[in-house]
Amino acid sequence: MTEKKIRVRIPQENKVRAELQKEIGSSCPFCENTEVGHFEIHHIDENPANNEIGNLLLLCRICHSKITKGDLSQMEVYKKKIELLKEPIISKPKSEKTVNFNAKVGNAVVGDNNKISINQQKKTVKQKYPEGCIGFESVKANYISHLINRYNEYKEYEVGKGNVRYGVFGATLKKEFKVGATRTIYNVPLEGFEEYVEEVG
């Protein structure tokens, strides 16, 4: 008898859905259906409690059902997620009307010929990892982190939670990808992302 999976509500589901919709460019990654209002969130590893963004994919009901039936394999879904992570997110232009002001705010008249300019100071975000490595791109770094966590979970199941040596796996990966002792696995160059995913996965 198979154990029934209990769906855990995704924290901030609307925000997560919006991020996933942006990731797929508002069309199903398998069939290009664009009726996003009916799309469903799929847990790639089939664990309804694992709501990390790297484990979630937004797709249409038909393709979701194909995955459930086994017509689309988990490996195909993982590959599609990786493809999406590698593609730049292109936002579609919005047809918005801009309100502009040319006069002082007290005397301003709202209309088509006015202009507004807002001066905002940009906050500088200090990057932990240099440009060109996996750690620089948060989505890819999160996905690698997700895969490492999954590996550790399987190891805990295999040898028992108290017997897992968590650092060994990371050290082996660092050695294989020739990462210096003072660096982390997130310092691997972006070109090695796919190879790294295969190694970790």
Comparing C-alpha atoms, which of 47, 55, 58, 63 is closest to residue 7? 47
Residue-wise pLDDT for 88-124, tens only, equals 655 444 444 444 444 455 555 555 555 556 666 666 6
Instruction: Give the whole-angstrom CA distance, residue 120 versus residue 116.
Output: 13
The residue ranges of every structural domain in the chain are: 13-86, 134-200
> Which residues neighbour 26 within 8 Å (Cβ) at sequence distance 6 or greater?
34, 36, 92
Instruction: Give the whole-angstrom CA distance, residue 70 versus residue 23.
Output: 24
The pLDDT, as a whole number, for residue 132 is 80
Q: Does domain 13-86 correspond to CATH entry 3.40.1800?
A: yes
Find residue 41's DSSP bridge partners: 58
Please, are residues 164 and 155 in contact by the beta-carbon 8 Å criterion?
yes
Please, are residues 118 and 105 in contact by the beta-carbon 8 Å criterion?
no
The pLDDT, as a whole number, for residue 101 is 45
Residue-wise pLDDT for 54-86, tens only, equals 889 999 999 999 998 989 888 898 888 888 887
Of the ranges 33-42, 120-129, 141-150, the best mean pLDDT one? 33-42
